[in-house]
Structure 1
Amino acid sequence: MPEKLFNVFVTTNCKKTRIKVISQDSIEARIKAVPRKGKANKELIEVLADHFDVKKSDINIVKGLRSRNKLILINEDK
């Protein structure tokens, strides 16, 4: 079961949503959603699922639910 851990730095309330891979284990995410009631985390998971071509359920926020710096676990088993 190939799993990958990524450090993700999230900027919320942006004009455009985009993902920028910084290194093998580091990602910068710019999200349109505001950080209220989990909306930004939900959008982040949707964008990462689309980027890595996995189901949303294969992405977990391990650390940083209420922080800009997050540790994300992605299960890439197909």
Structure 2
Amino acid sequence: MARAKADLPPPQAIHALADGAGRLAVRVTPGAREEAAAIVAGKLHLKVRARPTDGEANEAVLKLLAKCLCLPTSRLRMLRGATGRDKQFQISE
């Protein structure tokens, strides 16, 4: 049985969360049952299936964020939070 596709917030709503310099704060839940994205209290929350071992969860977060923003992963860069749940990404123009 195929999994249902995740409901993603509109890209414009996610872009609106970024500051003037293009920095976006993200809260991550690794090891979730399904991938999901939601805006909660003015912050983007991402759930990824990958476990936080050998950077697998960070890679999954990067891919899901790129999918949410309809951007290639090359336009995103993690600024901080490589080992924590709270991360900050730079969205390049």
- TM-score, length-scaled by structure 1: 0.85
Taking only aligned residues, the RMSD between alpha carbons, in angstroms, comes to 1.4
Per-residue deviation, 1:3: 5.3
Per-residue deviation, 1:7: 1.1
Structure 2 counterparts to residues 50-65 of structure 1, below 5 A:
50-65=67-82
| Residue of structure 2 equivalent to 1:16 | 34
Higher relative contact order (CA 8 A, sep 6+): 1
Per-residue deviation, 1:72: 1.1
Per-residue deviation, 1:21: 2.0
| Residue of structure 2 equivalent to 1:37 | 54
Larger helix percent: 2
> Given the alignment, which residue of 63, 68, 73 partners 2:85?
68
Runs of 4 or more, structure 1, over 6 Å off, are: none
| Residue of structure 2 equivalent to 1:27 | 44
| Residue of structure 1 equivalent to 2:22 | 4
Pair member with larger Rg: 2
When the two structures are aligned, how many residues end up with a matched partner? 73
